[in-house]
Amino acid sequence: MSRMPSPAAAAPVRRSRPAGVKAVMAVQASAGPGNTTERIVAAITTAIVERRLMPGTKLAEQKIADIFKVSRTLVRQALNQLSRDKLVTLEPARGAFVAQPSVEEARQVFEVRQMLESAMVKRLAASITPAQVAELREHLRAEQAAVHRTDVPGRTHLLADFHVVLARMLDNEVLAEMLRDLVSRSSLISLMYQSSLSAEQSQAEHVAIVDALERRDARAATRLLMDHLQSVERNLRLNPRVADLADVLRPIETE
C-alpha cells in the first residue's frame, strides 16, 4: 500500500467550510514546506473525498502545474502515485482521469473494509482510553455540526475520516495508511454509484459505535460497525437498474 496522505492530513482546516476545487488546490499549493508531489496528491485526494472532482474528470497536467507553479514532471509523479492508489487512471496518449471504479472493485473494497474494520474496533474496545473516547466525541460533534449546517464537503470529509481516526487509535501506521487508502477509494465509489444513505443516518451510526466503544462492548461495537458498512454498501447502486424519480431525487450521500 502506498503512502498516500490522509484526507485529514490533506486538509488542515478540515472543520471549516472549504472553498472550490481550485481554491482548495491553491491553498495546498501555497501551504508551507513539504514535498510538492505529496501536496498535489493530497489536494487531488481531498478534492475527490469532498466531491469536488467527479469520476472520469480529466486531470490536465499543464493546468495542475500552473496551479501549483511547478514543473509537469512533478505533476506527472503525483498522477503516477494517485494511479497506484487507484484514484486516477492513466490512459496512453489521452492523459490522466479521475478513476471510475468497477462494481467488482467496489465490492472488493467494502469486503476488505469489513474484514479490517471489524478486527480494528474489536481491539479498540479492549484498549480505548478516556482521552480517546473524548477525541471521538469531539469528532462526532464536528460531524453533527457539519450535518446541521448542510456543509456537504465538510460533512463528507468528517464522516469518511471517522474510520481513519478509529484506525489511528491503535497506533499502527500500516493499518492507518490502509484505511486512508480504502476510505478514499470508498469516496470515489460513492460518487460513482450514487449512495442514497443519508448523512444523518451515518452520523447516528457513528454515535452508536462510539457509545459501544465507551462501554468497552467489543461485540456490540463490531456488530454496529459491520451493520454500518453494510448499510453504506447497500445504499450504493451497485446493481444497475432503471431509476425512478423518487430515487433520483433523494439526497446523495457517502458514508
Fill in the per-residue mask, 196 to 235: x = in contact with Zn ion (CB under 5 A), - = not in contact.
----------------------------------------
Rounded distance, CA 166 to CA 143, Å? 14
For the chain, the residue count is 255
Binding mask 40-69 for Zn ion (x = CB under 5 A): ------------------------------
Is there a contact between 121 and 225 (Cβ–Cβ < 8 Å)? yes
| 26 vs 204 by CB, closer to Zn ion | 204
Identify which of residues 38 and 255 has a Cβ nearer to Zn ion in the complex.
255
Residue 120 Cβ, how far from Zn ion at the closest point, in Å?
Answer: 13
Cell of residue 2, nine digits: 502506498
DSSP assignment string, 31-60: SSSS-HHHHHHHHHHHHHHTTSS-TT-EE-
Q: Which residue is nearest to Zn ion (CB)?
A: 255
CB of 203 to Zn ion, least distance (A): 9
Binding range to Zn ion, per CB under 5 A, among 70-78, 95-103, 187-195, 247-255:
247-255
Interface with Zn ion (CB under 5 A), residue total 1
- When the beta carbons of 57 and 195 are compared against Zn ion, the nearer one is 195
Residue whose C-alpha is closest to residue 32's, from 46, 42, 20, 21? 42
What b/e readout covers 34-66, taking b as 16+ CB neighbours within 10 angstroms? eebbbbbbbbbbbbbbbbbbebebebebeebbe
Instruction: Mark 169-198 with x for binding to Zn ion (rule: CB under 5 A) and - for no binding.
Output: ------------------------------
Residues whose CB is less than 8 angstroms from the CB of residue 28 and which lie 6 or more positions away in sequence, other chains included: 10, 39, 40, 42, 43, 46, 68
Smallest separation (angstroms) from Zn ion to the CB of 178: 16
Residue 255 binds Zn ion (CB under 5 A)? yes
Q: Which is nearer to Zn ion, 96 or 225 (CB)?
A: 225
User: 112 - beta bridge partners?
Assistant: none
Looking at beta carbons only, is 61 or 135 nearer to Zn ion? 135
Residues making contact with Zn ion (CB under 5 A): 255
